[in-house]
Amino acid sequence: MQSTNNMNDKSMNDKNMNNKSIDNKVILITGASDGIGKATAIECARQGATVIIHGKTVPKLEQLYDEIIQAGYTEPVIYPLDYEKITPEDCDTLKDVINKEFGKLDGLFNNAGWLGASTPIEQYDLKLWYRVMQINLNATFMITQACIPLLNHAHNHKSGSSIVFNLDDKNSAYWGAYGVAKAGLRSLMEILADEMESTSINVKGLIPGIVKTPFRARAFPAEDSSTLTRPSEVAKVAAFLLSENSQTISGELSHGRIFNFEDVALIL
């Protein structure tokens, strides 16, 4: 598995393929209350997908629902769930609800995450460490595992399905549990991609880079955000990666690969 860092010299035949690919699809987006998740939910709904919007804060999800409806896009489905308190029974319920309502799942965007604190390892609070690992890594594993049978059902509806992981390279000082969890998430994505090699489920990662989100503002409160990438820009790339049209990118299979936002944005 490798990060895709040089796609400029590839064919441009993929250009604008994201404009026609997720209409009538069912896509679960975790962490949809803010930032990249919210923007991706709006973009997918704009393209005709039924989006299951996940988050723990119901008023934020309701606000997003209203925004999507008022824009005239496909009606989303609200599914609140607290990743810190999630249980195997919660995952089974989610799977059963999606199966009953839709009979399949075409895409899963594993986007939910929480910074915790920027603290030296020596001083990191143990309870906080467990909370950050639970929200960023354990809960993502649980949801992904629950959704795999639904994503396989999409194959029975004559289409493939996609799992996209929102990844981040934070392996330097003070990133603490968040950095460790994101490293684990990358390994989870790579292991899962190997295991799904012979299925119709396409697994890949997206590194958004530095994006103007509430998450970023909490981590770098003094930063000038005017020069940062907008969540809406990342959303177009995320929606493309969730689509069938991303099965190959610039003439190469995308399964198991990790893409930088900037590289994919160049061909859209």
Closest CA to 130 of 193, 184, 72, 177: 177
pLDDT (0 to 100) of residue 91: 98
pLDDT value at position 3?
Answer: 44
Pairing, β 161-166 against β 26-29: unpaired
Using DSSP's 3-state secondary structure scheme, residue 20 falls into coil
Which domains does the chain carry? Answer: 3-265 (3.40.50.720)
Contact call for residues 63 and 89 (beta carbons, < 8 A)? no
Q: What is the mean pLDDT of residues 209-235?
A: 79
- Mean pLDDT over 177-204 rounds to 97
C-beta of residue 249 within 8 angstroms of C-beta of residue 259: yes
What pLDDT shows up at residue 231?
92
Q: Which of 65, 73, 79, 178 is catalytic?
A: 178
Maximum Cα–Cα distance for the chain, whole Å? 52
**pLDDT value, residue 210:** 79
**Residue 18 confidence (pLDDT):** 42
**178 included as an active-site residue:** yes
